[in-house]
Each structure stands twice: as structure tokens, then as C-alpha cells.
């Protein structure tokens, strides 16, 4: 009897976790295509295939939902951006892959940051995450001198920024391959000693 009960509890917990992730994925997905202020709990519930009561039971409130969705997205983005340290081609490929998945949503969020406090928090975290990623991905090429280090991280951040991707990919209409090649050229120009 105990084995059956333990199995049932495990299955129930796994089902609850799948539902939680589905709700978070729905909130993140909707925030990539709509203004955050326009996304209702009903929208998230419909997208996730659950009731509004299920969303509220899990997250307590709309604010609680979007705070959890932010944390969920940061974990996903951090994982998506993992790249071999010092491999310029892999780093640019990784960040372009990330922008191909999420770039339009990031640009939409950046357009809202002056009027939405939650979005301002998200974009500030995104900037910090990008800067940390740049420092880690290109660490072998960064100078020891703190001022020169910071200056090069600034420039590499611009070369791999979502707005650089947007200008090439969306504004100019370049292919993904051409966008990646141009961003790689920018990075390599900043790192002439990179292999």
C-alpha cells in the first residue's frame, strides 16, 4: 500500500510541476509578443490550457506569476547562452541563436521599459546577464588592466547586442548566416589575437 501511495504522490508532484512550467512558459511566450500591461491572467491560463484559478493557486497573483516567469526566463536564457570560453565563432553563434529565438521579444520589452516597472527590472537583469556573458565568453582575450578590460567588455557587448542583431537581421533584412558573419567580424576586429 505504501508503494502505491508513494508512486501516486510522485506522479501527482510531477504533474503539478509540468503544469507550473507550462504556465510559466505561457507567460514568457505571451510577453514576447504583447505588451506586458495587456496580458491578463485569462490570456496566460488559455495559453497554458488551465483555469485562472489554477494560475492563482500556483502563483497567488498576476504580479507573483510574472515574477516567477521572469526567474524562469532568466534560467532558460542562462542555459541557452552557455558557450565554450574563448571560442569566438561559437560565442557569436550562440548569441545569434538566442536572438533568433528571443530577440524580437527582447526588443519589445526594451520598448516598454520606460513605462513598466516590472519590464524595467527584466531589462536591467537582461543587460547584466549579457555583460556577464560577454566577460565569460571572451575572458581569455580581456586585458588585465581594469580600465582597458571594462572598455573592451563595453565594445564586445555592443558587437553582440540585441540591437546589433536587430539592425542587421530585421532592419537590413539580412539572412541569419550573414547576420552572424557580420557580428563575428565585429568581434574579431575587437579581438585581433583571437584564434
DSSP H or E stretch at residue 115: none
Band (pLDDT 50/70/90 cuts) for residue 96 is: very high
Q: What is the mean pLDDT of residues 121-147?
A: 96
Instruction: Give residue-wise pLDDT tens across range 39-70.
Output: 999 999 999 999 999 999 999 999 999 999 99
Question: Where residue 15 falls among pLDDT bands split at 50, 70, 90?
Answer: confident
Q: 79 pLDDT band (50/70/90 cuts)?
A: very high
pLDDT band at 2 (very low <50, low <70, confident <90, very high): low
**pLDDT tens across 171-185, in order?**
999 999 999 999 999
C-alpha cell at 84: 565554450
pLDDT at 8 over 70: no
Q: Which long-range contacts (CB under 8 A, 24 or more apart) does 107-116 make?
A: 107/162, 107/163, 107/166, 107/170, 108/32, 108/33, 108/35, 109/31, 109/36, 110/162, 112/35, 112/36, 112/37, 116/35, 116/36, 116/37
pTM of the model: 0.84
User: How far is the C-alpha of 69 from the C-alpha of 125, rounded, in Å?
Assistant: 13
44/18 Cα distance (integer angstroms): 15
**12-to-5, 7, 18, 40, 47 alpha-carbon distances in Å:** 10, 8, 10, 27, 22
For the chain, the structural domain boundaries read 1-69, 81-195
Eight-state DSSP code of residue 175: -
Do 23 and 58 form a contact (C-beta atoms < 8 A)? yes
Q: Where are the strands (E) in 66-192, listed by range? A: none
Alpha helices in 40-87 (DSSP H): 41-48, 52-59, 62-80
CA angle 61, 66, 71 (to 5 degrees): 130
Q: Is the pLDDT of residue 167 over 60?
A: yes
In whole angstroms, what separates CA 9 from the centre of its chain? Answer: 33
Decide: 23 and 65 in contact? Cβ < 8 Å.
Answer: yes
Average pLDDT taken over every residue of the chain: 93
> Does domain 1-69 bear CATH number 1.10.357.10?
yes
Amino acid at each position: 500500500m505504501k508503494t502505491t501511495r508513494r508512486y501516486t504522490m510522485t506522479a501527482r508532484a510531477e504533474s503539478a510541476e509540468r503544469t507550473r512550467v507550462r504556465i510559466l512558459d505561457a507567460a514568457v511566450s505571451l510577453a514576447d509578443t504583447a505588451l506586458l500591461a495587456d496580458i491578463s491572467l485569462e490570456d496566460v491560463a488559455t495559453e497554458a490550457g488551465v483555469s485562472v484559478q489554477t494560475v492563482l493557486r500556483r502563483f497567488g497573483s498576476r504580479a507573483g506569476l510574472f515574477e516567477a516567469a521572469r526567474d524562469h526566463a532568466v534560467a532558460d536564457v542562462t542555459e541557452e547562452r552557455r558557450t565554450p570560453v574563448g571560442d569566438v565563432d561559437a560565442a557569436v553563434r550562440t548569441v545569434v541563436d538566442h536572438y533568433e529565438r528571443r530577440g524580437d521579444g527582447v526588443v519589445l520589452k526594451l520598448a516598454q521599459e520606460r513605462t513598466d516597472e516590472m519590464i524595467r527590472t527584466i531589462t536591467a537583469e537582461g543587460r547584466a546577464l549579457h555583460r556577464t556573458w560577454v566577460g565569460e565568453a571572451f575572458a581569455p582575450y580581456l586585458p588585465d588592466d581594469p580600465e582597458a578590460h571594462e572598455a573592451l567588455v563595453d565594445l564586445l557587448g555592443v558587437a553582440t547586442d540585441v540591437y546589433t542583431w536587430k539592425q542587421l537581421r530585421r532592419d537590413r533584412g539580412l539572412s541569419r548566416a550573414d547576420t552572424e558573419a557580420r557580428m563575428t567580424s565585429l568581434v574579431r576586429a575587437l579581438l585581433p589575437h583571437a584564434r
